[in-house]
Amino acid sequence: MKIVIVNYGSGNLRSVQKGFERAGYAAAVTSDPKAVSDASHLVKPITESIRSGKPYLGICLGLQILFTEGMEFGPHPGLDLVPGQVIRFPENELKVPHMGWNQIRIEKKNPVLEGIPDGAYFYFVHSYYGAPKKNEWVATTTDYGVRFPSAIAHENVFACQFHPEKSQKLGLQILANFAKLN
């Protein structure tokens, strides 16, 4: 098994790597295309690898990039794997960014959610959320003034808006469950 965290020049990649290590799995951070190609599991957006069937774990922006379009700093195209938009929380109604612990509601079973109870708390830091055109990708939802998909899942893809690497025991369970996927 070779878990690769793609270094896209931003984010707290080392904390994701340390999360996998605490869950008992080695992971490497790289931007080397050969290492990404050789990976058995990917943690960050790589369209060809997702389409080839490799397990993909998207965290925060790694979830948002899967959508058709993102609205941060104006409209920008995403990977268009999940039809829909990434939109901002309404600032006049909510404290933005959504930061801190919040509950998830499991909407559909997925191997990455094995051992995770409905209503479990995870750590969030984000100002935007994915709004899919159809609910078939929605694995969990969270309520923060608006009910939004906090995790999406389909075939080899699992992506979460929350940060499992910062979500203590249950977050490490998510990382371990992902690492066990074939």
Which residues are designated catalytic?
A: 60, 163, 165
For residue 72, the tally of other CB atoms under 10 A from its CB is 13
Taking alpha carbons only, the member of 72, 76, 133, 143 closest to residue 103 is: 143
Residue 117 is classified by DSSP as P
Which residues are registered as beta bridge partners of 87?
129
* 8 A C-beta contact, residue 149 and residue 140: yes
Sign, CA dihedral 110-40-13-51, equals: negative
97: tokens are 């960014």
